[in-house]
Copies of this chain bind each other. A is one copy, B any other.
């Protein structure tokens, strides 16, 4: 069976070399040490708030994208289709999706979007049991009602230019109070077509989980230009098993990495765990009788890696930047004279693996 998998991988490498994109849109990341890697999107709209599709389409899109879990998070307070969809029950979207998801094994997490001006702005509450009970006037009371149901709550698009003209999120006293009262657990660092390094910094400094979502209203295929090789934003959650409970535990524990365009965004520890699982190295020995050492790097994930060599070694056929494409391999040929035959320590900065404001992950590659 291993051989078959190898063949698959080799062929897809060939395909991607030529087309530059994955023929199969299912998003693939390897499991990491001790955890399953679950692909999640917990910010999604349908016709039950201001989205433009029936919940079952969201299930179809998620299944095609290979997701493990989604949450439909309709605005409680913003209901532009009210004339045609007057049903006051705010749980309908979840119920329909849940039913549609059954055949596919897709996990549907019950959620909603609490929609207010800044502060506190918009927030998603997921792992709730009855959205109708969260539909109350006072913002904090609304958060509390969600929390009473056991919710994980995260601040949506804190960088949103419609609410924050300079795109720089500001953590107000209101937010700090929410955090202190166990009413705010995460913050979006990726939302739809945007990424906020400042939000990531806030997450790091305030113990919030870094969240990435699509916030899709129209169609995934159009919004993220899938036909041109794009992909939806997706949050990788490192969970003990593939269950809703395990996802919830992982979110509270902060074990996430968001994949947005070419970027991987998370805290330093989760990023490192993901990269360790994604990039496999193999010492291929010296070329003939030369002092040129060959190291194979194999990327078994759908992410690209931009590696910037910051060690004193140079390469026989590369500059300092090494581009390791999705699901592909490269062979580094290292001019090893400055090391010795037993130790050639290489250090790379991964320019697209970000864990804070101007902070990128550094890795040491194991040559043994």
A interface vs B, CB < 8 Å?
A: 3-4, 7-8, 11, 14-15, 17-21, 23-24, 47-48, 51-54, 56-57, 60, 64, 81, 83-87, 92, 159, 161, 165-168, 193-198, 218-219, 221-222, 226-229, 261-263, 265, 287-292, 306, 308, 314-321, 323, 333, 335-337, 351-352, 354, 357-358, 360
Partner of A321, one of B56, B197, B351: B351
A288 — which chain B residues lie within 8 A by C-beta? 161
Contact: A15 with B17, CB < 8 Å?
no
State the CA gap A193–B81 with chains docked (Å): 32
User: Which chain B residue shows the least CB distance to A350?
Assistant: B321
A318 — which chain B residues lie within 8 A by C-beta? 195, 261, 263
Contact: A320 with B354, CB < 8 Å?
yes
A358 — which chain B residues lie within 8 A by C-beta? 320
Contact: A166 with B7, CB < 8 Å?
no
State the CA gap A262–B15 with chains docked (Å): 20
11 A/B residue pairs, CB under 8 Å, sorted by A: A8-B11, A57-B218, A57-B219, A60-B219, A83-B87, A165-B292, A168-B335, A194-B316, A195-B317, A263-B318, A320-B360
State the CA gap A194–B292 with chains docked (Å): 12
In the A-B complex, list the 10 residue pairs whose CB atoms are closest, starting with the nearest: A20-B20, A166-B291, A321-B351, A52-B54, A166-B337, A167-B335, A161-B290, A165-B290, A263-B319, A197-B314
Contact: B84 with A87, CB < 8 Å?
yes
A262 — which chain B residues lie within 8 A by C-beta? 319, 321, 323
State the CA gap A149–B165 with chains docked (Å): 52
A229 — which chain B residues lie within 8 A by C-beta? 17-18, 20
A167 — which chain B residues lie within 8 A by C-beta? 290-292, 316, 333, 335
Closest chain-B Cβ to A222's Cβ sits at a distance in Å of 7
User: Which chain B residue shows the least CB distance to A289?
Assistant: B165
State the CA gap A320–B306 with chains docked (Å): 11
A85 — which chain B residues lie within 8 A by C-beta? 84-85
Contact: B351 with A320, CB < 8 Å?
yes
User: Which chain B residue shows the least CB distance to A323?
Assistant: B262
Closest chain-B Cβ to A350's Cβ sits at a distance in Å of 10
A193 — which chain B residues lie within 8 A by C-beta? 317
Partner of A4, one of B3, B23, B51, B219: B3
A19 — which chain B residues lie within 8 A by C-beta? 18-20
